[in-house]
Amino acid sequence: MAFFSKSFFTIAVLLSLLSCTAHGQLSPNFYSNSCPNLESIVGSVMSQITSRNPSMAAAILRLFFHDCFVNGCDASLLLDDGPVVSEKRAPPNLSVRGYEVIDAIKSRVEAACRGQVSCADILALAARDSVRLLGGPSWSVPLGRTDSTSASLNVDLPGPDSNIGGLIKAFNDKGLDARDLTALSGAHTIGQATCGIFRNRIYNDANIDRNYAFLRQQTCPMGAGPNFNLAPLDATSPNRFDNAYYKNLVKRKGLLHSDQELFNNGPTDWLVRLYSRNPAAFANDFANAMIKVGNLSPSTGWSGTRRSNCRSVKFSSRY
């Protein structure tokens, strides 16, 4: 009888530990048995896509941010209209793109290990590889997220006209501090913005280099439509993930008002100076901040859903 009690206790402890891991913990080794080639599959597809079109790296990185900032990293932004109203309808998401890239990766992953990997984890890995493939840092991505079966149009992302106070508050509300904000804004070292997003800055903002403003005005006339033209967020090295974004801010050459607010006699000026002089400090802080973003309220556990089609809740399985 004593032997039975001891064995039962040991089993109960093991089950409890496994339950805690399944319900609350993300781990880089989550798929080591169920889908051991996952990271190589994601990296291969991303490499092919970014070699043909480097701008897709910025698109995937933005897709990841926009997904995680609404109820956590749960792939809810990937859902099309159906049983739920798609988050793609929210104004900040109207210009988000890259969904077909995640579809392509998901198709390859499903062929290798059907029903094992969530869309949320695929997006997290693709975002990491977007940075790595353009010369930025890499990091070990914690995995084990599940996919949402709902969506929310309450998209509380800070806009391009936000001031430093609003930016810090928006990030603090997500458990991210001013250092995370400044490092994550470095994602704007790649990517582009449409004329309508930065027009007010290049014509009316006082904290801007006048020659830079004049240059941008040549392709963004006052009377043009909002999507008249595109400009690189970092004109120095638009297809390379480096610290040039911060060097531009020091010269008052940030494309967006919210960018330049990071260097405008405020609390983040010192971080901008640090990153502009020390690319290793930027790379380290960016990687750490990305891990924190990936940990924003992730859905985990045995009861979670893995969508086999990232666009629909109709095709899903349970852990």
Same domain, 77 and 149: yes
**Bridge partners of residue 276, in order along the sequence:** none
Q: Which of 5-19, 60-74, 86-100, 179-193 has the highest mean pLDDT?
A: 179-193
The residue behind tokens 């990491």 is: 128
Q: Taking 60 as the threshold, does the pLDDT of residue 168 lie above it?
A: yes
The reply to whether 6 falls in a domain is: no
Q: Which of 23, 66, 188, 257 is catalytic?
A: 66
Helix (H) or strand (E) run with residue 48 in it: helix 38-52
Q: 307 phi and psi, to 5 degrees? A: -80, 125
Q: 15 phi and psi, to 5 degrees? A: -65, -40
Q: Give the Cα-Cα-Cα angle 45, 190, 162 (nearest 5 degrees).
A: 125
Residue 223: give its domain's CATH number: 1.10.420.10
Same domain, 124 and 30: yes
The reply to whether 12 falls in a domain is: no
Q: In the chain, how many domains are there?
A: 2
Same domain, 187 and 113: no
- What is the three-class DSSP state of 143? strand
Same domain, 82 and 148: yes
Same domain, 132 and 208: no
Annotated catalytic, 66?
A: yes
Average confidence (pLDDT) over 206-217: 97
What is the reported pTM? Answer: 0.89
Q: What is the pLDDT of residues 100-120, one digit of tens each?
A: 999 999 999 999 999 999 999
Residue 312: partners with Cβ closer than 8 Å, 6 or more residues away: 79, 80, 82
The residue behind tokens 């309450």 is: 154
Which pair of tokens denotes residue 210? 């006048």
Longest dimension (CA), the chain: 86
Q: What is the pLDDT of residues 285-313, one digit of tens each?
A: 999 999 999 998 777 766 568 999 999 98
The reply to whether 7 falls in a domain is: no
Q: Taking 60 as the threshold, does the pLDDT of residue 244 lie above it?
A: yes
Same domain, 58 and 89: yes
Q: What is the pLDDT of residues 48-81, one digit of tens each?
A: 999 999 999 999 999 999 999 988 899 999 999 8
Residue 77: give its domain's CATH number: 1.10.520.10
The reply to whether 194 falls in a domain is: yes
Structural domain of residue 305, as residue ranges? Answer: 24-157+297-318
Same domain, 275 and 177: yes
Strands in the chain per DSSP E = 192-194, 230-232, 305-307, 316-318
Same domain, 123 and 185: no
Read off the DSSP letter of residue 36: T
The reply to whether 257 falls in a domain is: yes
Same domain, 288 and 307: no
The reply to whether 255 falls in a domain is: yes
The reply to whether 13 falls in a domain is: no
Same domain, 124 and 230: no
